[in-house]
Amino acid sequence: MHSYDYALILAFFALVLLPAPMLGRFYYRVMEGQRTWLSPLLGPLERGCYRLSGIDAGEEQSWQRYTLALLAFNLAGFVLLLLILLGQGLLPLNPQQLPGLEWTLAFNTAVSFVTNTNWQAYSGEASLSYFSQMAGLTVQNFVSAATGLAVLVALCRGMGRRSTRSLGNFWVDMTRATLYGLLPLCLLLALVLVWQGVPQTFAHYVTGTTWQGADQVIPLGPAASQIAIKQLGTNGGGFFGANSAHPFENPSAWSNLLELASILLIPAALVFTFGHYVKDLRQSRAIMGCMLALLLIGGGAALWAEYQPVPGSDASLVQQAAPLEGKETRFGTTGSVLWAVATTAASNGSVNAMHDSLNPLTGLVALANMMVGEVIFGGVGAGLYGMLLNVLIAVFLAGLMIGRTPEYLGKKLQAREVQLLVATLLVMPVGVLVLGAIAASLPGPAGAVSNPGPHGFSQLLYAYTSATANNGSAFGGFSANTPFHNLMLALAMLLGRFGYILPVLALAGSLAAKKIAPVGANSFPTHGLLFVTLLGVTILLVGGLTFLPTLALGPIAEHLSLAF
């Protein structure tokens, strides 16, 4: 590694961590309806949205009504997006006259973007019109991220309030999350990306001539606006098929750094938002410490693995640079590995290098980041409420060890809460192990794998892990666009999204109704180094005990086979 590699890593962490406390407080004030510097500009628009839709901003909902509103909104968004994709050929802003998608691909894509997964079994420039990209995908990029933020806020209220049955108003939370939480940052990033060379146009594709004299079609489109929200909203779906490795999505070292930092910017800030809700920023610092420790462990292991020479090659040829297979030379090895670790630590799924070409141990890190539930920062809202589930599990285990009824922030965890926690522990195993095993055992679906042996198994394992974790990245050698995988991966995405959201909202309602007991001398502190260690061990043990056998068949076996 060179000095500029270390500078890139430091700049990335600075852009993510330095704004986090201030931005976290901003999100708290926004979601609670307090006045901010954007209120004079966006306040009238917010109130206009409520009047137009008949929403009483002062009316709060129980967790059951909050859940029903969320499900109705997401169902409506799914149906609308599905119709847009199926009827694309009849809709405007389609200069290339692209037809509608095949129905299983349209179903998979609609589920993918509604669940904030952004799994793409298609190439954007060859399959989707400008209208589908804007009115379909970009809209869902905003509202799926806002849905995750709303669920997190509901859980924060459940933990911070005492003896209440209300968690806020879903429609109000969605509106504020979109207008204040996502739109201003996206406008700013989109303008910067346009400055860096990302296209934002409705012009037709153009034809150029290569140095060899061949004609080449150069795709264009309103890309900058979608790329901004795909990163800030931890969506990850590319406007072009090559995603963030495409020069029109990620044209320079500056765009690479800003897009990379954008992936974790909001998830890091929301950790401090939680601290404001429970009136204890020590809890935020403890959670942030655990997230950073896991990120650094995984990132360090991935960088070490990727800088190793290929077995059997001349080591002297790679002393100054790591193998560059599957990577953009303009980003280099460090920029590619840092992106791969960040995008799988968050439920983002964008790629600036091909994960199929990563060192087996680097692929192992990417898989592990997703298999633990993408709680190492994770998606907007979704990452932190997933981490808070692990916090409660760690508290429960600590209570068992010391013989006390477990409690967190003065609220006791009883049978109902533990049952809901157990339900969330089943989501990743069912989506990855059960659905993945079905796909691997059938000869037709297994034919989507392009490589024999452990790497081929890793391709399939990665696909079902990515879908269930609502990540969306993939090993490029996996041929996902088949009716079986389109439908089975869609099922995994739905399970990974709503299999967490429904128990989390039920848990929020249960906690909100409890009284807050005063913290005494015998209470287990949840803000010190001991608890951070317990939390990290809990995350690794739950994921390790569940998925280690499958990892041994895939990336671990592939790594061991490299020596022969």
Could you report the per-residue pLDDT of 14-33, keeping only the tens digit for each?
A: 999 999 999 999 999 999 99
Mean residue pLDDT across the chain: 92
Reported confidence tier of residue 319, pLDDT bands at 50, 70, 90: very low
Can you tell me the distance from the alpha carbon of 469 to that of 467, in angstroms, rounded to the nearest whole number?
5
Reported confidence tier of residue 231, pLDDT bands at 50, 70, 90: very high
Reported confidence tier of residue 158, pLDDT bands at 50, 70, 90: very high
Residue 402, Cβ density class (10 Å: 0-12 exposed, 13-18 middle, ≥19 buried) = exposed
b/e map of 360-395 (b: 16 or more CB within 10 Å)?
A: bbbbbbbbbbbbbbbbbbbbbbbbbbbbbbbbbbbb
Q: What is the pLDDT of residue 164?
A: 87
Does the structure show a pLDDT above 90 at 111? Answer: yes
Does the structure show a pLDDT above 80 at 535? Answer: yes
* For residues 333-357, average pLDDT: 93
Could you report the per-residue pLDDT of 387-436, keeping only the tens digit for each?
A: 999 999 999 998 888 777 788 988 889 899 999 999 999 999 999 999 99
Residue 88 near residue 128 (C-beta atoms within 8 A): yes
* For residues 53-65, average pLDDT: 93
Reported confidence tier of residue 495, pLDDT bands at 50, 70, 90: very high
If one compares 13 and 453, the residue with the highest pLDDT of the two is 13
Q: What is the pLDDT of residue 162?
A: 85
Reported confidence tier of residue 223, pLDDT bands at 50, 70, 90: very high
* For residues 76-87, average pLDDT: 97
Reported confidence tier of residue 179, pLDDT bands at 50, 70, 90: very high
Could you report the per-residue pLDDT of 128-144, keeping only the tens digit for each?
A: 999 999 999 999 999 99
Q: What is the pLDDT of residue 318?
A: 47
Q: What is the pLDDT of residue 341?
A: 95
Q: What is the pLDDT of residue 320?
A: 47
Choice among 102-116, 151-165, 395-409, 541-555 with the minimum mean pLDDT:
395-409
Q: What is the pLDDT of residue 463?
A: 95
Reported confidence tier of residue 314, pLDDT bands at 50, 70, 90: low
Q: What is the pLDDT of residue 122?
A: 92
Does the structure show a pLDDT above 80 at 316? Answer: no
Q: What is the pLDDT of residue 498?
A: 96
What contacts 540, CB < 8 A, 6 or more positions away?
Answer: 294, 372
pLDDT above 70 coverage of the chain, percent: 97
* For residues 195-224, average pLDDT: 91
* For residues 321-348, average pLDDT: 88
* For residues 326-352, average pLDDT: 92
| Greatest extent of the chain over all pairs of C-alpha atoms, in Å | 79
Angle CA 465–127–367, to nearest 5: 15
Does the structure show a pLDDT above 80 at 374? Answer: yes
pTM score, whole prediction: 0.94
Can you tell me the distance from the alpha carbon of 112 to that of 120, in angstroms, rounded to the nearest whole number?
8
Does the structure show a pLDDT above 60 at 312? Answer: no
Does the structure show a pLDDT above 80 at 310? Answer: no
Tabulate helix, strand, coil % of the chain (nearest 5). Answer: 65, 5, 30
Does the structure show a pLDDT above 90 at 339? Answer: yes
Q: What is the pLDDT of residue 163?
A: 84
Residue 234 near residue 348 (C-beta atoms within 8 A): yes
